Amino acid sequence: MLIPRRSGLVEIIDLPAPDRAQLMEEIARASDALKSTTHCHKLNVAALGNVVHQLHVHVIARFADDAAGANAVWGQGARVPYQAAARDALAEKLRRGLGFA
């Protein structure tokens, strides 16, 4: 999830043009890192804000066999948390993919 550090924004169009361009670059960077790390079949990018109105963008790795199938991921199936070691390994790979490690 990407959250611009600007208070009071709700929509992407609320960002000034240079910040919108930066957000799109950050979405692309996060998408590249997530896809190369997870080898997903598809990426979903969404700025819904139906529950939390602060501007935020979800970048979601999707797989042909994921529990939601062709549906949106929200409200589908039961949440299954990562085991701590798998979570930490994925986080480290994503940090490296984003150039933070």
Whether residue 16 lies inside any domain: the answer is yes
Q: Read off the pTM.
A: 0.88
Query: What percent of the chain is modeled with pLDDT above 90?
Result: 73
Whether residue 7 lies inside any domain: the answer is no
pLDDT tens track for 15-61: 999 999 999 999 999 999 999 999 999 999 999 888 888 999 999 99
Beta-sheet strands, E only, within 1-101: 42-46, 58-62
Whether residue 36 lies inside any domain: the answer is yes
| Number of structural domains in the chain | 1
The residue with tokens 């929509």 is 11
Whether residue 6 lies inside any domain: the answer is no
Whether residue 73 lies inside any domain: the answer is yes
pLDDT tens track for 48-78: 888 888 999 999 999 999 888 888 888 888 8
Domain ranges, residue 35: 12-97
